[in-house]
Amino acid sequence: LDIQKLVRGKDKDQYFDTILTAALNLQKMGCRAIAAECGYFAFFHQEVKARMDIPVFMSSLLQVPWAQSIINPDHVVGLLMSNQDQLLEKHLSSVGIHPGSNYVVGGAMDNGKCPEFDNLWTEGLRPQIPQADFQRAEKDFVRAGTQFYEKYPNMGAMVLECTGFPPFARALQSIINIPVFSWGTLMDFANMVTAHRNYYGYV
């Protein structure tokens, strides 16, 4: 299952067996939780978790309802997708996001805004050996994220969908100064709740 099929495939249901087989194999190996990479795996969250005996974290978008619950209800949560045109209602409803609630959607890679990301991921645009410059990628991403934030003055939190975004989350947050959720924060949470650390000193 490649990223193009996951994100742009018209009949996504045909890929479910492949995804479930991988998850079940991981469970048999003794994994304590299942985590998917691309945020668009949200499409399969309900179906996968219904067949597993361990917790399932299929998408960074799982954090959107949580983000909505911690901000003023008059504010919105920004969903910064890789490409917003591929986001379906099922991606949202599968992870508990109520369509039409207080969220807005943007696409960091829309209209060629992040060419360094295209150099890594975009079929037809990336070179034969995919590569990108970190500093240029950060600059492109921070500009796209800041423009998205400035478009909605009542944005109270932002959720980064793509697993390529967390390395730049700190740089973006230093400018927009609101809570920023990402695949990285989801993995921190998943690890903490499934393999809790010892406490020491004062609590």
What's the pTM?
Answer: 0.92
Which segments within the chain are labelled E, that is strand?
Answer: 34-35, 56-57, 76-81, 103-107, 155-160, 180-181
Q: What is the DSSP letter of 163?
A: T
- 4 pLDDT exceeds 90? no
* Mean pLDDT value across the chain: 93
Crossing angle of helices 134-151 and 169-176, in 10° steps, is: 40
- What's the pLDDT at 201? 81
Domains in the chain, CATH or no CATH each: 3-59+188-194 (no CATH), 61-183 (3.40.50)
Q: Is the pLDDT of residue 118 over 90?
A: no
Report pLDDT digits (tens) over 131-179. Answer: 888 999 999 999 999 999 999 999 999 999 999 999 999 999 999 999 9
- Residue 158: per-residue pLDDT: 98
Please state the rounded mean pLDDT for residues 64-91: 96
The pLDDT confidence band at residue 203, using thresholds 50, 70 and 90, is: low
| Cβ atoms of 116 and 140 closer than 8 Å | yes
Query: Is the predicted pLDDT of residue 52 greater than 90, yes or no?
Result: yes
Amino acid at position 66, single letter: W
